[in-house]
Amino acid sequence: MHVDYVDQLRRLAIHADEPAPESLAVAAAEGLAPRELAIGRFSALIAMGGTDASFSAAVDEAVRAQVSARELVHAILGVAAVVGMPRAVSAAQHLAVVLGLDDDTVVPGSE
């Protein structure tokens, strides 16, 4: 059964019929292209903070959806004003780790 977005919004807003996390993922996948969903999830992870492992999973999903590393950096820049610089810096550090960039590449002159 297809539920329109207004009904989905209403149900979320009133916290009706507490959906299982799996059904939320399916609903999101039905309404967004894989690239959009991956960028949205990556951006949410920036906002809430996360570990190297969670960033690794998010970046893997993004790469499978054909999101470039450049676009992920721009996602960090795009949400920095909202989430604050400490979250943006943390996300940049996690992304550098996931991408396998060494300290000299990310922070010139570091040893």
Distance of CA 111 to the CA centre of its chain: 30
| Entry pTM | 0.74
Average pLDDT, stretch 82-103? 90
Output the pLDDT for position 1.
44
Helix spans in 1-111 (H):
5-13, 21-31, 34-48, 52-64, 69-83, 85-99, 103-106
Average pLDDT, stretch 85-92? 94
Of 86, 93, 25, 94, which Cα lies nearest the Cα of 56?
Answer: 94
Output the pLDDT for position 76.
96
> Above 70 in pLDDT, residue 19?
no
